[in-house]
A = this chain, B = another copy of it.
Amino acid sequence: MPETKAEGVTARKSEDFDEWYTQVLIRSEVADYSPVSGCMVFRPLGYSIWEEIQKATDSRFKEAGIQNVYFPLFIPERLLKKEAEHVEGFSPEVAWVTHAGNSALEERLAIRPTSESIMYEVISRWVRSWRDLPLRLNQWNNVVRWEFRHPTPFLRTREFLWNEGHSAFATKKEAESERDQILSIYRTVTEEYMALPGYVGRKTDAEKFAGAEETYSIEHLLPDGKAIQGPDFHFDGQKFSKAFDIKFVDEEGENQFAWQNTWAITTREIGVMLAVHSDDKGVVIPPKLAPVQVVVVPIVNEESKKVVLEESQKVAKRLSSRFRTKLDDRDHLTPGRKFNEWELKGVPLRVEIGPRDLKAGQAVLVRRDTGKKRVVKADSIESEAGKDLDEMQENLLSHAAEALRRGTSEASTIEQLKEVIAAQGGIVKIPWCGRKACEDRLRSEAGGKILNIPLDQKVTHGKCASCGEPAKMTVNYGRSY
């Protein structure tokens, strides 16, 4: 029988990203395959990361006055059809329930791919007067989009978990002003917790959410040079409120349709985060999100066993008061096997305590991101560990930001763009005239797409990379996951 089941990662991130990505997630026990094609299993390590992301996001939603709700999993087909663009966007990927027990249903039910239609049908009964607004709701739930492309854990799964925020306001201005608040929450969660930088911007009309007036996204860059969309925010205008009759009487006694937004962060983000930070030894988890932040490993020989274990227990206990700490006192594994296992599973900080450390009143700290060892006084172990964890959290973000900078380039013509995309991928800043025809050409000829349009724009942009006419904006372009 092997000492431990954990197999190391054999693929190399720099050589075969796809194989490495799957290996690292499966072998670290973050995720597993399931018997349902395209659906994954969140193992305790993976799910605990999601719980921490939820906590960080949800507490900020609540501070902002957003309230949680839960609406049904099922959407009657007739409701899904109420908003034309919405159904057109989602129906190719809808999973349909047609039978219950031995009976055929009278009307088939969609498993929610998103909940606009079921929520807004009900909300229209809740909103009567301007005093009922704003209505700012959110739910944390599962949704299903039956993608036919190759599934990848977290990054592309037929069922995924997310938050879906849905709000209704009395005025366009109020609805619009929610955008910065929500995007700022998502930036905090992605940058300060997940250590994931990204480019914020507006989607082009061709790329926006089915039913929205405007879509905003955070775009990340994967280590293989592909871009991937992170959290998003949709300004729906009055499209859904008109389709679902969400009307209210305003202060002047006039009937008005509400102005709406929706927004989401999904479990895909876990995959992006682990793809960016992890290495050939296993997953790397930012300290703020790690279910175990510090592991204490006693290094014992026969004669020192008792005293080293006692000291390790004491140190682990002290660390527990400030960090999520685990003492690994299993005696059937060598320290080396333990080191490998906790590196594979991404514990941010390892504390080693051996007989010599004991005598010297010290301990050894080893950081997961850099592998750097540091000998510290045992007396100040809490503050020293805290220092390492803080530095690691910052280091992951600055490394990821540096990778994003290195992966970002500029091109002013379609030829340059094709060259850059073919050579290194990444995100390319290009000037664009704003016309659909040019967007289509940029897509078909260079193999990527306009990811989003940064909100801060310079005054002049040179000439459109496609047509050579004066450009109206500079956009982020890239091959996208």
Measured CB to CB, the residues of A under 8 A from B are 1, 5, 32-36, 39-44, 47-48, 50-51, 67-76, 79, 91-102, 108-109, 111, 118, 121-122, 125-126, 128-129, 131-132, 137, 141-142, 144, 146, 148, 159, 161, 249, 332
- Which of B69, B72, B73, B101 is the one whose CB lies under 8 Å from A91? B101
Chain B contacts for A72, CB-based, 8 A: 34, 36, 39-41, 159
CB distance from A153 to the nearest CB of B (A): 12
Chain B contacts for A102, CB-based, 8 A: 92
- Which of B42, B98, B144 is the one whose CB lies under 8 Å from A69? B42
Top 4 nearest A-B pairs by Cβ distance? A100-B146, A44-B67, A39-B72, A42-B70
B161 touches A75 (CB 8 A): no
> How far is B366's CA from A81's CA once the two chains are assembled, in angstroms?
49
Chain B contacts for A111, CB-based, 8 A: 73, 97, 111
A68 touches B51 (CB 8 A): yes
Chain B contacts for A132, CB-based, 8 A: 5
Give the oligomeric copy count.
2
CB distance from A224 to the nearest CB of B (A): 26
Chain B contacts for A129, CB-based, 8 A: 1, 5
A95 touches B99 (CB 8 A): yes
Q: Which single residue of chain B is at the shortest CB-CB distance from A43?
A: B69
A101 touches B94 (CB 8 A): yes
Q: List 15 A-B residue pairs with CB atoms under 8 Å apart, sorted by A's residue number.
A: A39-B74, A40-B72, A41-B69, A41-B71, A43-B69, A44-B137, A47-B70, A50-B70, A73-B142, A91-B101, A92-B101, A96-B98, A97-B111, A131-B332, A142-B142
Given A35-B121, A96-B100: 11 more A-B contacts, CB < 8 Å: A1-B249, A34-B118, A36-B72, A36-B76, A41-B70, A42-B71, A50-B70, A73-B111, A92-B101, A97-B111, A98-B98
